[in-house]
Chains A and B, each alone.
Chain A
Amino acid sequence: MSESLAAPIRNPLSIALWSAVTLIGVFAMFTLATSRGEAVNAMWLVTAAICVYLIAFRFYSLFIANRVLGLDPDRPTPAHRRNDGLDYVPTDKYILFGHHFAAIAGAGPLIGPVLAAQMGYLPGTLWLLTGVVFAGAVQDFVVLFISTRRDGRSLGDLIKTEMGPLPGLVAMVGILAIMVILLAVLALIVVKALADSPWGTFTVFATLPTAVLMGLYGRYIRPGRVFEMSAIGFVLLIAGIAYGRTVAETPALASLFSFKGEALAFMLIAYGFVASVLPVWLLLAPRDYLSTFLKIGTIASLAIGIFVVMPELKMPAVSRFIDGTGPVFAGSVFPFLFITIACGAVSGFHALVSSGTTPKMIGDETQIRFIGYGAMLMESFVAVMALVSASVLDPGVYFALNSAPAVSARPPIRPHRPSPPGALRSRPRR
């Protein structure tokens, strides 16, 4: 449909190319959906995802850009009209893509698919792909467009001007309440991952002095040398991980860095307060550089890892937990799959970024398509890789890791074992 409405394809080479992409994608999807019993290689999943993204970007996003929104390359963007060298700066589209991607790619795309893997890899994959093409990327794209045409104002502000003062007020209160829950849950994930793990705790703690050191280096010792600063940070980061092993293996040190969840929660709360009050250059900005490099580096190495190793998916396509009795989260596919996988498919949090710093840096309206729609496809790809990572684990290991003590078999707490994941091939647990 979009094909005929958007720019028509005339070049036969292009027709051949896009037909090939479509064929490969359909074949990969078919392999994923129809194989039962035998293990499927993760490459099929990755291939299907990439084909879907390419087709969606080439055709659907072009249709939205030309027909639905009417992007106008001649219209000056706020970055040009209000260029102040500080917030409003016309920025190279690839750099801005990186900035926008780093801002939207939080923990969500990583965690949701992992939890949803209890239903098998197929339901999660289908929702990730349809969700991002028709909902998530469209939302990021259109909100970015709306905000760019209105001086880069924020979501609450936009609702106020377009829908009225009362809806604006309700939306602002709502956005705040939603943010509170989002932050609490994200922080909870960190606490759960670090509790009683001296190695992990030490490594994360080590990033704080590293970031402060980087901040001081960038401001006083060699100002403006962002690359040098990041290189130092990266070396210290890896050293921190390596030394963490020593910490974990030395009982005296290990006890210093082993905390219960409650204690970690209070530390995080204190950290959140301090980080928000401190000047940005000292802790936040250097840490942002560091984590942006780390994000892109890790995602790239994971992608390369998947392509080199080509692991097999151990999870079945559809497990019996689609009936809602899963141990990781309870509830049936509809509606709970669609809220469990949030960020890789569609995420409201992105609307805040798309109406935050990004619209103030767009140099040309037509780039909104690449940045708004494209970065979200990229994020969805990260979610697909997270799904692959969870699905290459043996189902036995997966369920042992993910069952709360209340649900899993820990003799002192509960006498009888939970019903074994019967539809899954049971393997020895760790």
Chain B
Amino acid sequence: MLSRTGGAPTLAVGMAKILSSAIGGQGMMAFWYHFAILFEALFILTTVDAGTRVARFMIQDLVGTFAPRFRHTRALIPNLASTALAVGGWGWFLYAGVADPLGGINTLWPLFGIANQMLAAIALTLCTVVLFRMKRQRYAIVVAAPASWLYICTLTAGLEKIFHPDAKIGFLAHAARFSAAAAEGRLLAPAKTAAEMSRIMFNDYVNITVCAIFIALVLSMLGFGLVAIRDALRAKSISTRETTDELPHLRAVRA
């Protein structure tokens, strides 16, 4: 049971320990371990195929902006093409992670966290903008504060993942260490062949690119957010676009 990275086996062992002391004792430990693994795998697979569907609709929507025919979610060709694109996208990173001699999770989990928290920062930016447009900026701190914290964390983490001088953290330093060794013809653990050496360096550069794209993205959303807030402050009245509530008398009272 050594070196089963990824968190899932650890959690399963912990859960098995707790559950088997409640039911079944030591003899049931293996059963509970696999129960926990199955539970986690089902959790994840549900997310993976629901996520693939969502990604597929997003691709159809995006391409549809330029080629309207692509939008028909029932048409076979756009459906297959967007699914292939969505699956190919995550599949490529999955394969790279599995083939990564460093174990994959070690490298990719920070990217996962950065990506997920950046999405939260974007969502909270939207929330802040909407509060300003509702002219409720008095309370904007409720969403602006967590948004700022997430911007600080994700941008710092993203920059550190690229530029940190410690090769365990910074991708650039890591790649530099491996390319220096490769130039001298040495092999650095865990690589056992020259091909693995170059694979590790290639992965480093892919990760640098992904990180840089995410940073650019979240910075531009921050800029857009600030502009939208400025515009909302300049506007004389509520500028948000809610669906009308069909209750004009109520609205008049409240406004």
Complex Cα distance, B7 from A192, in Å, reads 9
Q: 1/0 per residue A294-308: CB within 8 Å of B?
A: 110010011011101
A155 engages B123 (CB within 8 Å) = yes
Given A143-B127, A186-B47, A346 and B150 contact (CB-CB distance below 8 Å) = yes
Minimum C-beta distance from A166 to chain B (A): 7
Instruction: Find chain A residues with CB under 8 A from B98 CB.
Output: 188, 191, 261-262, 264-265
Q: Cβ of B220 < 8 Å from any Cβ of A?
A: yes
Q: Which of A111, A272, A341, A404 contacts B8 (CB 8 A)?
A: A111
Could you say which of B41, B80, B245 has the most chain A C-beta atoms within 10 Å of its C-beta? B41
How extensive is the interface on chain B, given as a class? 35 or more
Find B150's partner among A135, A159, A334 (CB 8 Å cutoff): A135
Is the Cβ of A405 less than 8 Å from the Cβ of B190?
yes
Residues of chain A within 8 A of B49, CB atoms compared: 271-272, 275-276, 284
A193 near B12 with CB under 8 A, answer yes
CB closest residue in chain B, given A177 = B213
The answer to whether B113 touches A340 (Cβ under 8 A) is yes
**Contacting pair B146 A329 (CB below 8 A):** no
Q: Which of B147-169 contact A (CB under 8 A)?
A: 149-150, 152-154, 156-157, 160, 164, 166, 168-169
B120: nearest chain-A partner, CB-CB = A348
B119-156, CB < 8 A from A: 119-124, 126-127, 129-131, 133, 136, 139, 142-143, 145-146, 149-150, 152-154, 156
What chain B residues lie within 8 Å of A172 (beta carbons)?
58, 61-62
Residues in B whose Cβ lies below 8 Å from that of A185: 93, 97, 105, 108-109, 111-112
Rounded to whole angstroms, the CA-CA distance of A241 and B164 in the bound complex is: 45
Interface of chain A: mostly helix, strand, loop or mixed: helix
> What's the least CB distance linking A214 to chain B, in Å?
13
Interface contact A179-B19, CB-CB below 8 Å = no
Given A192-B4, A241-B35, A330-B169, the answer on whether A272 and B160 have CB atoms closer than 8 Å is no
Contact A389 B6 (CB under 8 A): no
Complex Cα distance, B55 from A356, in Å, reads 13
- Closest chain-B Cβ to A235's Cβ sits at a distance in Å of 14
A163 touches B153 (CB 8 A): no
Knowing A134-B146, A265-B98, the reply to whether A272 touches B90 (Cβ < 8 A) is yes
The answer to whether A288 has its CB under 8 Å from any CB of chain B is yes
The A-contacting residues of B in range 229-255, CB under 8 angstroms, are 240-243, 245-247, 250, 254
Give the chain A neighbours of B111 by CB distance below 8 A.
Answer: 181, 185
Question: When the two chains form the complex, which single residue of B12, B15, B119, B243 contacts A149, counting CB atoms closer than 8 Å?
Answer: B243
Query: Which of A9-17, A30-38, A394-402, A419-427 touches B?
Result: A394-402
Does B59 lie at the interface of the complex (its beta carbon under 8 Å from any beta carbon of A)?
A: yes
Given known contacts A276-B56, A338-B153, A342-B116, A410 and B7 CB-to-CB distance under 8 angstroms? no
Among A149, A190, A386, point to the contact of B41 (Cβ < 8 A). A190
Identify the stretch in A67-75, A89-97, A216-224 within 8 Å (CB) of chain B at 4 or more residues: A67-75
- Total contacts A to B, CB within 8 angstroms? 493
Q: Is A123 an interface residue (CB 8 A)?
A: no
Q: Mark B30-53, 1 if CB is under 8 A from A, else 0.
A: 110011111111111111111111
The reply to whether the CB of B68 lies closer than 8 angstroms to some CB of chain A is no
Q: Check B39–A294 contact: CB distance below 8 A.
A: yes
Task: Say whether A262 contacts B99, CB under 8 Å.
Answer: yes
Residues of B within 8 A of A68 (CB): 131, 136, 139, 142
Task: Judge whether B198 is part of the interface by a CB distance below 8 angstroms.
Answer: no
Residue contact A413 to B190, C-beta cutoff 8 Å: yes
Contact call B37/A200, Cβ cutoff below 8 A: yes
Q: Determine if B59 and A176 form an interchain contact, defined as CB atoms under 8 angstroms apart.
A: yes
B13 at the interface (CB under 8 A from A): yes
Q: Whole-angstrom distance from the CB of B97 to the nearest CB of chain A? A: 4
- Determine the distance from Cα of A265 to Cα of B210 in the docked complex, in whole angstroms: 21
Known contacts: A241-B34, A295-B43, A311-B18. The answer to whether A335 contacts B11 by CB under 8 A is no
Taking CB as reference atom, which chain B residue is nearest A102? B46
Contacts of B121 in A (CB 8 A): 348
Flag if B5 contacts A177 (CB, 8 Å).
no
**Does chain B have a CB within 8 A of A183?**
yes
Any B CB within 8 A of the CB of A403: yes
Give the distance in Å from the alpha carbon of A305 to the alpha carbon of B24 in the complex.
12
Asked whether A348 lies within 8 Å of B123 as measured between CB atoms, the reply is yes
A316 interface hit (Cβ, 8 Å): no
Q: Do residues B120 and A139 form an inter-chain contact, with CB atoms below 8 A?
A: yes
Answer whether A291 and B127 are a contact pair too, CB < 8 Å, given A185-B112, A393-B14.
no
B181 proximity list for chain A (CB < 8 A)? none
Question: What residues of A have a CB within 8 angstroms of the CB of B55 in the complex?
Answer: 176, 179-180, 183
Contact call B108/A272, Cβ cutoff below 8 A: no
How close is A85's CB to chain B, nearest CB, in angstroms? 19
> Is A21 interfacial (CB 8 A cutoff)?
no
9 shortest A-B CB distances, which residue pairs?
Answer: A348-B119, A404-B103, A389-B14, A339-B113, A192-B6, A184-B93, A135-B146, A351-B123, A406-B190
With A187-B91, A331-B157, A336-B157 known, 18 other A-B pairs at CB within 8 A are: A111-B7, A166-B224, A185-B108, A188-B108, A189-B7, A190-B41, A192-B6, A199-B30, A207-B45, A265-B98, A269-B94, A276-B52, A331-B110, A335-B152, A335-B153, A338-B149, A347-B117, A348-B116
10 A-B pairs (CB sep. < 8 Å) = A68-B139, A78-B243, A146-B130, A161-B241, A191-B94, A272-B91, A334-B156, A342-B112, A346-B117, A401-B10
